[in-house]
């Protein structure tokens, strides 16, 4: 209550915009949540990249196989009923079909097929999520190692590396990898400045979840410089070459690299980056 009291006690002439601005600046830290699942949930919700969960591929396959076999049994049952039908007119008109056993079988098939289709669709949707990045999984593991609030058995889902998915937007391309490298370098070279310069969602000195991503701007600057060099250098090299074949090779290589880089930039997603450092 002390925080709320200090937050809303303002001067009489303070504008509404000032109050809203002050309110916006107050953000709960991860450590302000009770230990256990509340704090663990706060961590996972602090950044989209932390949204890592199990896919349960084995269980999904098992359920699909069981539903599939159930449908196969029902299919055989329906075929047998059709072969053994003593009144051909029932097979020629569904409106005149008085075989209650066949009607019951068809109703059961309809229900089973609906459940099978739903499971197939949901499994397909689950498999469209990207696999969790080892960097992000290790960050969560590091946090758990330094904050033993959750039962070990209940964090074992992180041990299933091949079965982990992330529901965050996909990150791809050259820029994404370069941002990771820049961020690691910033933390390693001057972690105190990097930690204090940007509003963090955690008060733990080993946790880095900046709200502003300076590494994104630096990565873009580095990549932009590289692209400029990649454009200028081939021109200079071609001017020094007399062979047409050599010029074509240089232009081809430079163009391929340039297209690859630009493709990575256009596909890249820029979430707020983070790093969870292990306890020392």
Task: Kindly give, in sequence order, each residue whose CB lies less than 8 Å from that of residue 13, ignoring residues fewer than 6 positions away.
Answer: none
Structure tokens at 101: 């056993």
Note whether residue 8 is domain-resident: no
Domain match, 120 and 99 both? yes
For the ranges 159-163, 187-191, 218-222, the lowest mean pLDDT is seen at: 187-191
Answer with the one of 128, 144, 171 that is the final residue of a domain: 128
- Quick one: 73 and 196 in the same domain? no
Strand partners, 165: 53, 131
Are the C-beta atoms of residues 190 and 77 closer than 8 Å to each other? no
239 and 228 in a common domain:
yes
Q: What pLDDT does 275 receive?
A: 45
Average pLDDT over residues 222-229: 79
3-state secondary structure of 14: coil
In a domain, 14, yes or no: no
84 and 38 assigned to the same domain: no
Query: Please, what's the b/e burial string for 99-119 (b: 16 or more CB within 10 A of its CB; e: otherwise)?
Result: beebeebbeebeebeeebeeb
Domain that holds residue 71: 57-128
Does residue 108 form part of some domain? yes
Pick the last residue of a domain from 72, 103, 128.
Answer: 128
Same domain, 120 and 146: no
Mean pLDDT check: name the lowest of 116-130, 165-179, 257-271: 257-271
Alpha carbons 225 and 80: distance in angstroms, whole number = 73
Residue 75, in any domain of the structure: yes
Instruction: Name the average pLDDT for the chain.
Output: 77
pLDDT at position 26: 60
Residue 142 lies in a domain: yes
Total residues belonging to the chain: 280
Residue 79 burial (CB count, 10 A): 11
Do residues 144 and 120 both lie within one domain?
A: no
Q: Return the top range by mean pLDDT from 66-70, 207-211, 215-219, 247-251.
A: 66-70
Q: Which pTM was predicted? A: 0.64
Lowest mean pLDDT segment, chosen from 47-61, 125-139, 183-197, 230-244: 183-197
Mean pLDDT of the 64-84 span: 93
- Looking at residues 106-129, what average pLDDT do you find? 96
Q: Are residues 43 and 147 in the same domain?
A: yes
Residue 44 located in a structural domain? yes
- The answer as to whether 278 is a domain residue is no
Residues 37 and 162 in one domain: yes
Final residue belonging to a domain, choices 101, 128, 155 = 128
Q: Is the pLDDT of residue 110 over 80?
A: yes
> Do 65 and 39 share a domain, yes or no?
no
Same domain, yes or no, for 164 and 233? yes
Ranking 51-65, 172-186, 236-250, 261-275 by mean pLDDT, the lowest is 261-275
**What total number of domains does the chain contain?**
2
Domain shared by 255 and 148, yes or no = yes
Q: With bands split at pLDDT 50, 70 and 90, how would you rate the model's confidence at 197?
A: low
What pLDDT score was predicted for residue 12?
38
**Do 137 and 113 share a structural domain?**
no
Give the separation between CA 64 and CA 136, rounded to whole angstroms.
30
- Residue 83: pLDDT above 70? yes
Instruction: Give every CB contact of residue 49 below 8 A, 6+ residues apart in sequence.
Output: 133, 136, 166, 168, 171, 271, 273, 274
User: How confident is the model at residue 6, as a pLDDT?
Assistant: 35
């Amino acid at each position: 209550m002390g925080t709320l009291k200090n937050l809303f006690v303002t001067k009489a002439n303070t504008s509404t915009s000032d109050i809203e601005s002050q309110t916006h600046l107050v953000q709960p830290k991860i450590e302000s949540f009770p230990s256990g699942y509340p704090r663990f949930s706060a961590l996972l919700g602090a950044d989209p990249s932390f949204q890592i969960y199990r896919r349960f591929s084995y269980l999904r396959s098992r359920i699909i196989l069981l539903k599939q076999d159930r449908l196969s049994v029902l299919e055989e049952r329906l075929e047998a009923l059709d072969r053994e039908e003593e009144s051909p007119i029932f097979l020629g008109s569904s409106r005149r079909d008085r075989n209650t056993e066949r009607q019951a079988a068809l109703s059961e098939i309809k229900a089973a097929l609906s459940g099978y289709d739903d499971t197939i669709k949901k499994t397909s949707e689950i498999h469209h999520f990207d696999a969790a990045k080892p960097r992000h999984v290790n960050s969560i593991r590091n946090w758990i190692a330094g904050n033993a609030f959750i039962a070990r058995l209940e964090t074992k889902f992180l041990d299933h590396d091949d079965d982990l998915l992330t529901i965050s937007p996909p990150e791809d391309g050259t820029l994404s990898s370069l941002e990771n490298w820049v961020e690691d370098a910033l933390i390693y070279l001057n972690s105190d400045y990097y930690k204090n310069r940007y509003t963090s969602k955690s008060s733990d000195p080993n946790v880095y979840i900046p709200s502003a991503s300076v590494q994104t701007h630096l990565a873009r600057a580095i990549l932009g410089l590289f692209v400029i060099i990649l454009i200028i250098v081939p021109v200079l090299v071609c001017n020094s070459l007399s062979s047409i074949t050599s010029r074509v090779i240089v232009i081809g290589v430079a163009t391929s690299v340039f297209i690859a880089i630009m493709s990575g930039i256009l596909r890249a997603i820029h979430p707020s980056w983070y790093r969870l450092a292990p306890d020392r």
